[in-house]
């Protein structure tokens, strides 16, 4: 997809620990036609930027824990295409000048007028326009912060582009942990609704008795226990997007209610006689094959056809081997940064074992594994023995080489351990040595700590 022209809708993230400032600025910017989101601190801002890149970040300088300068440095290292503007009451004291040296575009001295704010943003917009026109031919395909450039993921990105530029309903299907919610967020944040809410609802988590109240809200006293009025998911997502996760598990009752709101685009708040129009875009996701559920009579056909205007299948990780390395790098650097440690490297054998693994839990499993390894392994290299037993079994057999006995012995021990799921007592039995000797051998090889106790 061609890079969005920043003269269309400029995406801005405002970062400030003062909720009032956030609210006022967001109102001013949205009122002037910018898509403005907010974050109450640097950590939250980084969390948002990771998945939803913006054109400009306007950040306060003084914030508890991490400050504006930390954010400037993060953005310069990780989001080169994003411009930054600093807000400060004391430019000289507050390191604002340093922040400009570190890569901020400009700083705004507080208090500033609306006109000053808009004219500073216009300067950034012009700069972006020029830069993007120069780079237009070489800009890599947009991937919405989703990692992976494999051919199958390229088709996913082009479907995201299509979905983001229309308002039709979308069905995302794929195994658990493949990134369906990430795709749904990419559609929302890539669309004109980016500055309105994205509301995620897990269809299995709504008790049947509360479906209407949860989806459409209720007024005070609507039923026993309704002590206060409650806003339903569809109202919260009005103008934005509602993400219906695990739609295949929706009860017949829930399916019926959803069908009605999709058909009529209106809701009935429980306990009120008023019918309310809602403008909510629906994106649904499922790990099941909805077509099969329809054939079996477990899912309403009419609802299925309403939902599936654009169908985005997200492939399992084992079908996109090319993406595994970039995902590993992404998660290694993310979690190492979080842990304030140097980025460890994998040995060739460990990488081979990882590549040969089938990843039933998909990207979520890979993410969890890398996080665990970054936390648990102190060494600079991660080896096969650090991996879970199911992966260790994938270590390739080496062709014969003249090697030290200790190395061959260790490799044999590791394979036996992998075979018995890391159970040291069982492994010692098979090896014909006692458990203490096994421990000593592993300790000597620096492999003592990282597999589960049996």
Least CB distance from residue 215 to ligand ATP, whole Å?
19
Asked if residue 37 binds ligand ATP (CB under 6 A), the reply is no
Q: What are φ and ψ of residue 411, in 5° steps?
A: -60, -40
- Spatial separation of the C-alpha atoms in residues 387 and 373, rounded to whole Å: 8
Instruction: State which residue, 276 or 287, has the beta carbon closest to ligand ATP.
Output: 287
Asked if residue 245 binds ligand ATP (CB under 6 A), the reply is yes
The pair of structure tokens assigned to 410 is 């260790």
How many residues of this chain interact with ligand ATP, rule: CB under 6 A? 17
- Spatial separation of the C-alpha atoms in residues 114 and 406, rounded to whole Å: 72
The pair of structure tokens assigned to 43 is 């950590």
Site for ligand ATP in 259-278 (CB under 6 A): none
Least CB distance from residue 145 to ligand ATP, whole Å?
7
Asked if residue 241 binds ligand ATP (CB under 6 A), the reply is no
Instruction: State which residue, 67 or 178, has the beta carbon closest to ligand ATP.
Output: 178
| CB of 25 closer than 8 Å to CB of 58 | yes
Instruction: State which residue, 133 or 176, has the beta carbon closest to ligand ATP.
Output: 176
Instruction: State which residue, 143 or 235, has the beta carbon closest to ligand ATP.
Output: 143
Q: What are φ and ψ of residue 58, in 5° steps?
A: -110, 115
- Spatial separation of the C-alpha atoms in residues 262 and 303, rounded to whole Å: 8
| CB of 446 closer than 8 Å to CB of 382 | no
What is the DSSP secondary structure assignment for residue 204, as one 8-state letter?
A: G
Taking only Cα atoms into account, the Rg of the chain, rounded to an integer number of angstroms, comes to 26
- Spatial separation of the C-alpha atoms in residues 404 and 409, rounded to whole Å: 9
Least CB distance from residue 384 to ligand ATP, whole Å?
24
Count CB-CB contacts under 10 A for residue 405.
Answer: 7
Instruction: State which residue, 261 or 285, has the beta carbon closest to ligand ATP.
Output: 285
| CB of 454 closer than 8 Å to CB of 423 | yes
Among 62, 276, 287, 415, binds ligand ATP (CB under 6 A): 287
Least CB distance from residue 154 to ligand ATP, whole Å?
12
Instruction: State which residue, 33 or 360, has the beta carbon closest to ligand ATP.
Output: 360
| CB of 330 closer than 8 Å to CB of 370 | no
| CB of 136 closer than 8 Å to CB of 125 | no
Residue pointed to by tokens 């830069």:
131
Least CB distance from residue 296 to ligand ATP, whole Å?
21
Instruction: State which residue, 164 or 270, has the beta carbon closest to ligand ATP.
Output: 164
Q: Are strands 198-202 and 11-15 parallel, antiparallel or unpaired?
A: unpaired
Least CB distance from residue 319 to ligand ATP, whole Å?
13
Instruction: State which residue, 174 or 240, has the beta carbon closest to ligand ATP.
Output: 174
Asked if residue 69 binds ligand ATP (CB under 6 A), the reply is no
- Spatial separation of the C-alpha atoms in residues 359 and 354, rounded to whole Å: 9
| CB of 163 closer than 8 Å to CB of 36 | no
Beta strands in 379-442 (DSSP E): 381-382
Asked if residue 124 binds ligand ATP (CB under 6 A), the reply is no
Site for ligand ATP in 358-417 (CB under 6 A): 363-364, 367
Least CB distance from residue 177 to ligand ATP, whole Å?
5
Contact track, ligand ATP, 142-181, x by CB under 6 A: ----xxx-------------------------x-xxxxxx
Least CB distance from residue 108 to ligand ATP, whole Å?
33
Instruction: State which residue, 94 or 367, has the beta carbon closest to ligand ATP.
Output: 367
Asked if residue 344 binds ligand ATP (CB under 6 A), the reply is no
Residues at the site binding ligand ATP, with contacts judged by CB under 6 A:
146-148, 174, 176-182, 245, 285, 287, 363-364, 367
């Amino acid at each position: 997809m061609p890079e969005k022209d920043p003269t269309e809708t400029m995406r801005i993230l405002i970062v400030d620990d003062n909720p009032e400032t956030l609210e006022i600025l967001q109102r001013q910017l949205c009122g002037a036609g910018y898509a403005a989101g907010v974050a109450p601190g640097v950590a939250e801002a980084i969390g948002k930027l990771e998945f939803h890149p913006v054109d400009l970040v306007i950040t306060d300088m003084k914030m508890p824990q991490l400050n504006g300068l930390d954010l400037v440095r993060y953005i310069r290292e990780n989001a080169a295409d994003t411009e930054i503007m600093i807000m400060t009451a004391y430019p000289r004291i507050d390191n604002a000048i340093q922040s400009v040296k570190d890569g901020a575009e400009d700083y705004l001295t507080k208090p500033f007028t609306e006109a000053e704010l808009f004219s500073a943003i216009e300067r950034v917009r012009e700069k972006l326009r020029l830069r993007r026109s120069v780079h237009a031919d070489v800009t890599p395909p947009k991937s919405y912060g989703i990692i992976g450039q494999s051919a199958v993921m390229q088709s996913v990105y082009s479907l995201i582009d299509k979905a983001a530029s229309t308002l039709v309903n979308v069905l995302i299907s794929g195994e658990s942990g493949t990134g369906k919610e990430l795709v749904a967020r990419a559609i929302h944040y890539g669309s004109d609704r980016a500055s309105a809410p994205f509301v995620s609802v897990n269809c299995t988590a709504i008790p049947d008795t509360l479906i209407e109240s949860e989806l459409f809200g209720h007024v005070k006293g609507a039923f026993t226990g309704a002590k206060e009025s409650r806003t339903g998911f569809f109202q919260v997502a009005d103008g934005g997007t509602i993400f219906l996760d695990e739609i295949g598990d929706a009860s017949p009752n829930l399916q019926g209610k959803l069908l009605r709101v999709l058909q009529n685009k209106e809701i009935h708040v429980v306990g009120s006689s008023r019918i309310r129009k809602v403008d909510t875009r629906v994106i649904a996701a499922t790990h099941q094959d909805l077509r099969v559920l329809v054939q079996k009579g477990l899912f309403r056909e009419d609802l299925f056809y309403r939902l599936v205007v654009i169908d985005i299948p997200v492939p399992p990780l084992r079908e996109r081997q090319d993406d595994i390395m970039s995902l590993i790098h992404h998660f290694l650097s993310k979690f190492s940064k979080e842990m304030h440690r140097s980025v460890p490297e994998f040995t060739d054998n460990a990488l081979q074992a990882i590549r040969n693994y089938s990843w039933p839990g998909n990207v979520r499993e890979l993410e969890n594994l890398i996080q665990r390894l970054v936390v648990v392994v102190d060494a600079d290299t991660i080896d096969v023995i650090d991996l879970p037993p199911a992966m260790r079994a994938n270590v390739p057999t080496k062709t014969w080489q003249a090697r030290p006995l200790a190395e061959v012995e260790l490799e044999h021990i590791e394979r036996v351990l992998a075979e018995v799921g890391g159970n040291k007592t069982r492994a010692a039995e098979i090896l014909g040595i006692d458990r203490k000797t096994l421990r000593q051998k592993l300790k000597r090889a620096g492999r003592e700590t990282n597999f589960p106790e049996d």
